[in-house]
Amino acid sequence: MEQERRHFIEKVEETKLPTDRPVHYIPHHPVAKESSTTPIRIVYDCSCKDGRDNPSLNECLESHPPVMNDITGILMRFRAKKYATTSDLEKAFLQIQLDEKDRDATRFLWLSDPTNTSSPLITYRFKSVLFGATCSPFILSATLLKHFKGKSGETFRYT
């Protein structure tokens, strides 16, 4: 699996469930898009509940607004200055590691052979921040701001 090869997820041994931290299994489904560089991607549903009385993963997570600039300010700075730069971090959420104690809340099941629905299930968990979690945009923004801060404590202008 590509995500395992890139160290975004890891296999979980199902010998015993941890009792000192939450364990949650995230449902997922494939989305096909032939015109994309990733023709099939996996979509994780962190808003799905596993029963009427149980909260979803997103309901258990803190959600804060991303610490990003207003689009109006960004456009004004693009027009006011002689030069402008942009960047795109590939798979940005997945570049941020989850703490070991939080990983069991991001488990999911996968067929050992996706072409055979009778194949045994494998349990995986995320090692990194995932798309679909309400806290992911804030975690990315806060991480970028931390890294943009210089040694002098001066903050780089993040636009």
Provide the residue ranges of all domains of the chain, joining segments of one domain with +.
2-148
Q: Is the pLDDT of residue 146 over 90?
A: no
Per-residue pLDDT band for 34 (boundaries 50, 70, 90) equals confident
Give the E-state strand segments of the chain in sequence order: 9-11, 28-32, 40-44, 107-111, 121-126
Could you tell me how far CA 83 lies from the centroid of its own chain? 32
What is the fold, at CATH topology level, of the domain defined by 2-148?
HIV Type 1 Reverse Transcriptase; Chain A, domain 1 (3.10.10)
Cα separation, 70 vs 67, whole angstroms:
10
Predicted local confidence at residue 154, as pLDDT? 61
Average pLDDT over residues 5-12: 93
Q: Is the pLDDT of residue 97 over 60?
A: yes
Cα-trace Rg, the chain: 19
Predicted local confidence at residue 37, as pLDDT? 72
Dihedral of CA 119/49/134/36: which sign? Answer: positive
pTM score, whole prediction: 0.75
